[in-house]
């Protein structure tokens, strides 16, 4: 695979090793603002390529509630979940400081928003950070 190609298959594959714990992600909200691609590209670290959709760049946040158990140490791990349904959402009010904090103007249009009730997730072997 060429380094600029996106591997859209590997993240969907369940790892061969067994899950070490499970999590439940609840009340996921996906909020995305269409922003000027050139303005966002100028703020990216060197070597990071901007991904666009239909010529537009998006900045997003995904707040959710995570239910899991841990032992007080910071870890990273691969996760796997089945595709889950998301439905359009209306965000009646939002105090958002993300875009101005990186020097981007707030778009005039409201953000694109979707909601998912919950996602059951398997977490694979933990690696200490």
> Once rounded to an integer, what is the mean pLDDT over residues 94-116?
84
1 pLDDT above the threshold of 50: no
Helix (H) or strand (E) holding 112: strand 112-123
DSSP class of residue 72 equals: S
Q: What is the pTM of this model?
A: 0.66
Task: Pinpoint the alpha helices (H) of the chain.
Answer: 37-41, 98-101
Q: What is the pLDDT of residue 116?
A: 92
Q: How confident is the model at residue 117 (pLDDT cuts 50, 70, 90)?
A: very high
């Amino acid at each position: 695979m060429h380094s600029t190609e996106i591997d859209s298959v590997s993240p969907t594959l369940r790892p061969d090793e067994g899950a070490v714990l499970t999590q439940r992600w609840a009340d996921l909200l996906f909020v995305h603002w269409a922003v000027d691609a050139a303005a966002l590209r100028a703020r990216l670290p060197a070597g990071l390529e901007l991904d666009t959709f239909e010529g537009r760049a998006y900045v997003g946040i995904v707040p959710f509630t995570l239910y899991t158990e841990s032992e007080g140490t910071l870890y990273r791990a691969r996760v796997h979940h089945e595709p889950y349904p998301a439905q359009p959402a209306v965000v009646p009010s939002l105090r958002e400081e993300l875009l101005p904090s990186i020097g981007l103007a707030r778009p005039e249009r409201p953000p694109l928003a979707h909601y998912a009730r919950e996602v059951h997730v398997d977490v694979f072997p933990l690696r200490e950070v």
